[in-house]
Amino acid sequence: MDSYLIDLCELSNSIEYTSFFSNASKDIYHYTSPLAFQSIIENQKLRFSDRYYLNDGSEGKAIMQLCLDELDEVAPDDPKFKECLKEECNKRYKKPQRDNFYVFQCSFSVDQDSLCLWNYYTKGDCLRGYNLHFKSGELRRKIEMQPDKCCDKGTSGRPKGRTPQIISAKVVYKKREQKKIVKQVIQQFYNFSVAHSRCDEKFTIEILVDKLMILGVFFKKECFEPEHEYRFAISLYLNNDGTYAAIKEKQEFLEKDGLFVPYVDLKFAPEALKSVYVSPTLDLERARESILRLSQGKFPQFSDVSLIKQSGIPLRY
């Protein structure tokens, strides 16, 4: 491998998402319906869904649209580099996935008691639902994946082994902040290109856009800002036989609006769950009793019934 490729890999690896997004531990809340809550408690698993099947049609593509719309502002004034970047962004906007890598996400909020989130996540159940409280830093450490350490290359020719990294951070909504991040990353790759006299090198641009796509996990349009989302994400490589490289968890599907949504359920250690809030429409005492019965033998912390709390939003009929 020549020095250009070695240096390019080192550059890409040096640009960590934590350089732009704080992953300091926060109180985070996962709003969910009664059926989903039951599944989480019984199985001690959180669902990570393929980001391209979520309700927001711009999910995963927003950063490419931003690059295209603001190209003159975020890219250096170099015609060759800018044209190559524009071409790759257009290509990735139309087909975001590359090389069998898929991004799966699980959403939380930093808002402990949000009426709009109660409304959204319990909309089919007369505002009946639950809100699971975690500490983000602890949850990130407590999510457990089953590593597949065998070196079976399968049909993909890609070795298995290292457990994928889960990344987490608060979502950025302000366009000015998003542009600042994008511009900084592009500038680093441009400086690298100039130093190596390869401003029109296609592979450099591809690696740059790969990096932007990962950072784009934490970009959303400003209209979604009331959600105050905190997001967990994982990038998984899918072998040609439908299995994931490096982990034993299976790819599963959920039918939604006629589509089959890919997801993976990941186990978390019980102690990561700090408390539970019940929606304002549920009777607290009966909800507590049912949660105690449901979690018996699985979440011993709920023997302290004060950890099962009620939304403070007043009821209106």
Q: What is the DSSP letter of 219?
A: B
Structure tokens at 44: 């001690």
- The answer to whether 214 and 100 are in contact (CB under 8 A) is no
Asked if 160 and 246 touch (Cβ cutoff 8 Å), the reply is yes
pLDDT value, residue 149: 57
Alpha-carbon gap, residue 91 to 97, rounded angstroms: 10
Kindly state whether residue 189 falls inside one of the protein's structural domains.
Answer: no
What confidence score (pLDDT) does residue 120 get? Answer: 86
Q: Is residue 270 part of a domain?
A: yes
Secondary structure string (H, E, C) spanning 38-97: HHHHHHCEEEEEEHHHCCCCCCCCHHHHHHHHCHHHHCCCCHHHHHHHHHHHHHHHHCCC
Looking at the 3D structure of the chain, how many domains does it have? 1
Nearest partner of 268 among 82, 135, 130, judged by Cα: 135
C-alpha closest to that of 244 among 228, 262, 230: 262
Q: Find out whether 282 and 128 touch, Cβ atoms under 8 Å.
A: yes
Q: How far is CA 267 from CA 42, 165, 259, 295, in A?
A: 11, 15, 25, 15
**Which residues, 6+ apart, have CB-to-CB distance to 37 below 8 Å?**
129, 130, 132
Handedness of CA 242, 235, 232, 274 (dihedral sign): positive
pLDDT at 101: 85
Residue at 67 is within a domain: no
Whole-number Å distance between alpha carbons of 45 and 298: 12
pTM > 0.85: yes or no: yes
DSSP state of 250: P
Q: Which residues fall within 8 angstroms of residue 79, CB to CB, at 6 or more apart?
A: none
Residue 188 lies in a domain: no
Tokens read off for 138: 């602890």
pLDDT of residue 200: 59
Structural domain contains residue 78: no
Please report whether residue 91 resides in a domain.
no
Q: What gap in Å lies between CA 16 and CA 218, rounded to an integer? A: 13
pLDDT given at position 53: 86
Residue ranges of the chain with pLDDT lower than 70? 1, 57, 123-125, 149-162, 199-200, 316-317
**What is the pLDDT at residue 314?**
87
Nearest-angstrom CA–CA distance, 24 and 144: 20
Query: Which domain covers residue 295, as residue numbers?
Result: 3-60+96-173+220-310
In-domain check, residue 202: no
The first and second tokens of residue 78, run together, are 């170099």
Confirm whether 86 is domain-assigned. no
For residues 301 and 273, the answer to whether their CB atoms sit within 8 Å is yes
